[in-house]
């Protein structure tokens, strides 16, 4: 569906335009209620209570772990406790990867420990560890260009440094070094792979985990890990002496089979169009070193709390509000891909959607992928969001977040709600992803944004253009 020929796509859009020529608008009473929801949300403690509950009572919840199961039980119970009308789950199956222990050291010329963490889907090293000479590359491009003879049997080390930005755009390259680098090094015959953590905390001895691109079960894999930033600095200093540098990686981890978890879903049932849904959510799994507060307890909490505010209105909204707590986002969007596959044929029933998965910083920008006739309704939403500091950028598409990008890719109209990610990559995928990193006021601003747009989309007269194959040109997948 994602690769529909443009001619067919254009025809489809013209056809859709022909059918729904009337502009989509949001009634004045709904705008007024949305303004009330917005203001009320800024003083509502539900999201903070939800993320505190999840991170305290469950804590880290690596996909497929015992804590992952406890997180699903927690989510089912929390949806019910908050009064959602319908609570259920849908199974998701994925490879089960486990981290048991990890350590590293410079062996020569200056022996000392290194702080590192194994990456998702990394195989383990032999017992006692893998010791090999380090060969350093300053970029992924340099690794791609390397002659296999220069890396064969060595530990490849890619030293790309991310810097802080409001939109976190360095993560594009940072994650590419982590995802694409290991398979490239493995294919060239390397013995192991190290990167400078894809993180912006320059002075913390805390490494950033995350998934590798080891997806092809037939391709060669090698032990892969990330060094903390100060450890990468130290390795750079040691390499600068110009002597051969030997590093030992000792990783006990790997894929041990298959696991079936679940997406957990709560709904506020629409009174007028119960089968039409406004879709929001976050992902329930987290990496294991932290307690998954910003990634993505915040997204779960923001969207549960926004729906709860709408639930507590005197009347049910016209359309259904669906909050999806996705399974195993971290190791490759397993929950959202399963969801999109299962619900592909219903895409036209999805009014509008996006999930929250970029921490708890304030939302500062909105963009949308909707049919032209719905631009006016988006502008109405933008008008209510403006006092929250959200700027509407009509020139950018909406991507649907991380997990709901999969439904957007199949034709669901989608928003992008860009959060302030200046410090997100200080803590992302580390032990430091804990509750203290969340500012309750910033979290409440997110809830206000979600409650506002979700309610307005649910009450709109008309749709936003969701249809099989719609928006194929601008789906970015973020």
- Contacting positions for a copy of itself (CB under 8 A): 52, 56-60, 66-67, 110-113, 115, 202-206, 230, 233-234, 237-238, 289-291, 430-432, 434-437
Cβ burial, residue 310 (10 Å; 0-12/13-18/19+) = buried
Cα–Cα distance measured from residue 188 to residue 184, given in angstroms and rounded to the nearest whole number: 6
Cα–Cα distance measured from residue 261 to residue 450, given in angstroms and rounded to the nearest whole number: 27
CB closer to a copy of itself, 77 vs 142: 77
Residue 297 near residue 287, CB atoms below 8 Å: no
SS3 label, residue 255: strand
Output the smallest distance, CB 100 to a copy of itself, in A: 12
Cα–Cα distance measured from residue 172 to residue 194, given in angstroms and rounded to the nearest whole number: 18
CB closer to a copy of itself, 231 vs 318: 231
Output the smallest distance, CB 225 to a copy of itself, in A: 16
Output the smallest distance, CB 66 to a copy of itself, in A: 8
Output the smallest distance, CB 442 to a copy of itself, in A: 15
Which token pair is 65? Answer: 């772990």
Output the smallest distance, CB 322 to a copy of itself, in A: 29
Q: What is the DSSP letter of 342?
A: H
CB closer to a copy of itself, 46 vs 276: 46
Cα–Cα distance measured from residue 293 to residue 428, given in angstroms and rounded to the nearest whole number: 10
Output the smallest distance, CB 131 to a copy of itself, in A: 17
The size of the chain, in residues, is: 478
Output the smallest distance, CB 116 to a copy of itself, in A: 12
Cα–Cα distance measured from residue 193 to residue 185, given in angstroms and rounded to the nearest whole number: 7
CB closer to a copy of itself, 58 vs 185: 58
Output the smallest distance, CB 64 to a copy of itself, in A: 16
Output the smallest distance, CB 26 to a copy of itself, in A: 41
CB closer to a copy of itself, 52 vs 269: 52
Residue 370 near residue 378, CB atoms below 8 Å: yes
- Of residues 350, 356, 282, the one with CA closest to residue 320: 350
Cα–Cα distance measured from residue 277 to residue 466, given in angstroms and rounded to the nearest whole number: 11
Cα–Cα distance measured from residue 237 to residue 420, given in angstroms and rounded to the nearest whole number: 33
CB closer to a copy of itself, 61 vs 371: 61
**Which secondary-structure segment (H or E) carries 349?**
none
Residue 192 near residue 155, CB atoms below 8 Å: yes
Cα–Cα distance measured from residue 307 to residue 303, given in angstroms and rounded to the nearest whole number: 6
Cα–Cα distance measured from residue 453 to residue 353, given in angstroms and rounded to the nearest whole number: 10
**Which secondary-structure segment (H or E) carries 311?**
helix 298-311
CB closer to a copy of itself, 57 vs 275: 57
CB closer to a copy of itself, 336 vs 430: 430
Pairing of β 273-283 and β 350-353: parallel
CB closer to a copy of itself, 161 vs 269: 161
Output the smallest distance, CB 16 to a copy of itself, in A: 49
CB closer to a copy of itself, 158 vs 431: 431
Residue 469 Rama label (left phi>0; alpha psi -120 to 50; beta): left
Output the smallest distance, CB 55 to a copy of itself, in A: 8
How many angstroms separate the first and last alpha carbons of the chain? 18
CB closer to a copy of itself, 169 vs 203: 203
Per-residue exposure over 7-28, b if at least 16 CB sit within 10 Å of its own CB, e if not: eebeebbeebeeebeeebbbee
């Amino acid at each position: 569906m994602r690769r529909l020929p443009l001619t067919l796509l254009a025809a489809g859009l013209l056809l859709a335009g022909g059918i729904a020529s009337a502009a989509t608008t949001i009634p004045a009473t709904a705008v007024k209620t949305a303004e009330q929801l917005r203001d009320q949300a800024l003083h509502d403690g539900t999201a903070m209570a939800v993320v505190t509950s999840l991170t305290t009572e469950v804590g880290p919840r690596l996909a497929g772990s015992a804590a992952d199961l406890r997180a699903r039980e927690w989510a089912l119970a929390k949806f019910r406790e908050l009064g959602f009308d319908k609570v259920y789950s849908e199974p998701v199956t994925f490879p089960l990867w486990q981290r048991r222990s990890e350590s590293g050291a410079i062996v020569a010329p200056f022996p000392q420990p290194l702080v590192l963490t194994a990456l998702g889907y990394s195989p383990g090293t032999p017992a006692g560890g893998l010791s090999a000479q380090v060969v350093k590359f300053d970029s992924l491009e340099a690794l791609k260009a390397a002659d296999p003879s220069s890396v064969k049997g060595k530990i490849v080390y890619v030293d790309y440094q991310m810097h802080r930005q409001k939109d976190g755009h360095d993560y594009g390259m940072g994650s590419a070094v982590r995802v694409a680098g290991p398979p490239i090094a493995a294919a060239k015959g390397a013995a192991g792979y190290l990167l400078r953590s894809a993180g912006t905390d320059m002075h913390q001895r805390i490494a950033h985990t995350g998934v590798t691109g080891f997806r092809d079960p037939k391709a060669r894999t090698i032990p892969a890990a990330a060094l903390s930033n100060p450890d990468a600095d130290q390795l750079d200093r040691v390499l600068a002496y110009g002597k051969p540098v030997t590093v030992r990686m000792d990783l006990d981890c790997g894929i041990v089979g298959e696991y079936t978890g679940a997406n957990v879903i709560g709904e506020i049932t629409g009174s007028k169009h119960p089968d039409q849904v406004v879709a929001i959510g976050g992902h329930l799994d987290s990496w294991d070193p932290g307690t998954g507060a910003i990634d993505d307890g915040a997204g779960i909490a923001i969207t549960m709390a926004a729906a709860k505010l709408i639930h507590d209105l005197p009347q049910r909204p016209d359309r259904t509000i669906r909050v999806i707590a996705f399974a195993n986002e971290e190791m490759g969007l397993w929950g959202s891909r399963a969801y999109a596959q299962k619900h592909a044929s219903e895409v036209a029933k999805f009014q509008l959607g996006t999930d929250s998965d970029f921490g708890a910083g304030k939302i500062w920008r909105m963009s949308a992928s909707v049919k032209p006739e719905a631009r006016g309704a988006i502008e109405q939403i933008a008008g209510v969001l403006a006092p929250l500091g959200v700027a509407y950028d009509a020139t950018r598409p909406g991507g649907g977040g991380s997990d709901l990008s999969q439904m957007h890719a199949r034709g669901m109209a989608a928003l992008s709600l860009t959060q302030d990610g200046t410090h997100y990559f200080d803590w992302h995928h580390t032990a430091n992803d804990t509750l203290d990193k969340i500012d309750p006021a910033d979290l409440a601003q997110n809830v206000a944004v979600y409650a506002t747009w979700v309610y307005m989309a649910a009450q709109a007269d008309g749709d936003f253009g969701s249809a099989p194959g719609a928006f194929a040109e601008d789906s970015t997948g973020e």
